[in-house]
Structure 1
Amino acid sequence: MRIARGLNRLFANLFRRQDADNSLDAEIRDYVEEQTKRLVDSGMPADKARRLVLVETGGIDSIKEGVRDVWIGRGIRTTADDVRFACRCLMRARGFATIVIATMALGMGATLTMFSLMRGVMWRPLPYPEPDRIVTIQVDARSVANAGAALGEVLDLKERSHSLEQVSMLDTGTATLTYRGESERVTHAGVSDNFLPLLGARPTLGRLLDSRLDNPKSAPSAILISGELWRRRFSSDPRVIGRTVRVDDQDVQIAGVLAADFRLFLPPAASAAEEIDVWFPFAMSPTRQYRGIPILARLRTGATLSEANAELQTIASQFQQEHPLYYAGATGWQAAQLDRELSNRLRFTAVRSRRQSHAMPGQS
C-alpha cells in the first residue's frame, strides 16, 4: 500500500502539478485557520491572531516552498524545468547551439575512442592458454633496469626454478628475405624451443622448430614463417614446406607456417613487433658476457607470483656467488668500475604479462 501511495503521489507531482498545488493551498489555509481560531478562543483579537500565526509559520509562500522541496519527484521536476529552459535558450541562439552540440559530440566520441583503446590495451586478456600464469622476467643488472638476461642465466633458470616452467627467450630484429630473385625486409625472431609452445602457437602447415634438428651447429637450417608472409610471398601455396629461401646470407628451408592470427603481445622492454615474419631456432649457450634477452615463463600449477619472486631472488644470489667476476668483477657485461657496486649486481622480478601493442619492429 505504501508503494502504491508513493507512486500515486509521484505521478501527481509530475503530471498533475496544478492539482497538487491546489491541494497544498487548501491544507495550508486549513492549518492557518485552525491555529488562528485557537488563539481567538484564548481571547486574542482575530486580526492579531492571524498575523501572529503567519509570523510563526514564516508565511504561506515560505511553507509552500518548503513542502515542494520534499515532494516525491522534486528532483525530476527540477531537472525537466532546467532542460526546458536550456532548450529555449539554445533555440534563441541556434548558431551557438550548433557549436555546443558539435563540441559535445566530439568530446563523447573522443572519450569512447579512448575507452576502446584502453580496453584493448589494458583490460583484454592475452590470447594465449592460461594467460594469468604467463610472466615476463625483468632483469636488472649492474645498476641498469630492464637490462635483459644473458643466455647462461636463461639456461640456469630453466634448470633451477621450481616455481616456473617453460622458461624461454627470444631475440628479435629485421632481415632481408630473398625468394626467386625478389627481396623484402622482414621482421624475425630467434626463439628457444619452448617459446612458441608457451604461447600456444600451432602450425597451419608443417611443424614447429626444434633446435636439435634445425640448428645443430649454431647455423639455422630451417625456419617458420607467418601466415601473412605465406599469403603475401607464397600465395598460400600448401607445397611451400621444404622450399629454400635466403634470409640475409643464409639459405634455409621452410619447416612450417604459423596460423595467420598469431601475434606477440609483450611489454615494450622486449622490443618485439606484434607480427613476426620469420622465426629461427636459437642456439643457446652458457655465456654471461652479453645481455638484452627477454625472458618469458609460466608459473607452475599452484605456484604464486610472490613465491616465484622469492625463489628468483635466491637464484640471483646463487649466480652472483658462483660467477663473481661476471656480476661484481671486471668480466662480463657493463663491467666498468662504476658498475661494480655490491648493491647493483643482479635482480630477477617476475611480472604478470599484460596485453600491449607495439608499433615498431624489434631491434637486435
Structure 2
Amino acid sequence: MRHELPFPIHNDCGICNYFKKIWEDGWLDEYSDNHFLIKAIENRLTAFIGFTQMLNNDPNLHRLIKKHGVIDNNSFNLNFCMNLSGCLAHLQTIFGNDHMERFIKDQLSAGKQQYDEDTFFEAISEISVLRFYAIRSKWKQALYEPPVQISKSLKNPEARFVGELSLNGNVEEIVINIEVKCPKFPSIEHQESKIAIPTVLLSNEGRKQIPRFCEENEIIYMSPRVMKLKDFLNSAATKFSIPKDNEFNLLYINWSFCDFPSNSFLEAWSLLTNTINGILTHPNAARNIGVSSEVFERITAVIVYTEALEGLMFLDFRMYGNLMDVSKDFECGFWTINCAMRKKLVNLIYYIK
C-alpha cells in the first residue's frame, strides 16, 4: 500500500505537511500510479491533458517556461504539490475533516484505478474557485455541498458562504452559492492545422454552408459546443433556488483544455454573450436550444475562464485579472444575468479580491 512507502517529497520547513499526513494516513492509497497528483508528488509528471493550451495561455511571469516551450518540470511539480497541499489544508479548516476526506478519496482520486484526467481537472477547478472565496474573508458560515430543496428533488451546489458586505456605509449579510463546471473535450490531433469553430448560434442553413466552405478551403470544421453550455446552465439551475435579497448564485465554467491555445475562452464567451443571438443575451434564442427559463430566474452570474500553466501551478484564482472588464483580459469573462443585482455583485467581487 502507498502509505507504507516513504513520502517522496523532501519536506523541509513543512512545505507539504498536509500531503505528507494524508499520504501516511492512506487517503491516497487507491490512487492510480498514473494520477496527475501521484506523478507530481513523485516528480515524474511531464505532460498532461490541456498542456499545450495552458502553455500558450501562460504569461510566464515566473520563468517556468524555458526555450522552445520546455518547462521546468522539477519546479512545476514541487510548486504544484506545495500549493495544492496548502489549499486542501485550508479548505479542511473551512469545511471540516470529513468533507475533505470524502472529497480527496472520492473526487480528487478521479476514478481511482480507472483514472480519468478530465475528472481530476474538474476537481482541481472546484478547489481553485472555492479556495478563492474561502481565503478572502472571515465567513460567518461555510458549507460544502449544502442541500437545496427544489420541488421533490434534493440537489446541491459545490458550496455556500455566508458573510457580510459593507456597501455605502451599510453592512449587509450576503449569501454566495457556487457551482463549478469543467467540460471534457476530445483530444485534438490537428494542433498545427487551420480549425474553425463558429462563435454564434447557427441556423439550419449555416450548419450546411459553413462546413462546406471549410471543406473547400481545407479548414477543419468543428461544431460549437452549444449543448455543453446548455447542459451546464440547466444543471446549475437545478442546484440553486431562486435567490433572495443579497443572495448570489454564481456559475463558474472552466473552458480550458480544448482546441484553440490562448483563444479557446472566446468560443464559450461569444456563444453566451454575443449581441446577435447569445444564449444569455437573448432568452428566446436560449429557449430555442433547450435552455430552461429557470436559468434566468436562479443564476445571478456566469463566469467563464481558461487556465494558464502558472494558474494551475499556483491554484490561485486571483491570477485571472480584472473579472469585471473583459476588454482588458480575454482569459476570464463575467456576465450578470440578474441586472438588478449587478452593482452589489461588482462590489462583492472587488470586496473579496
TM range (shorter): under 0.3
Structure with bigger RCO (C-alpha 8 Å, 6+ apart): 1
- Is the strand fraction higher in 1 or 2? 1
TM-score scaled by length of structure 2: 0.21
Q: Which has the larger radius of gyration?
A: 1
**TM (normalized to structure 1)?**
0.20
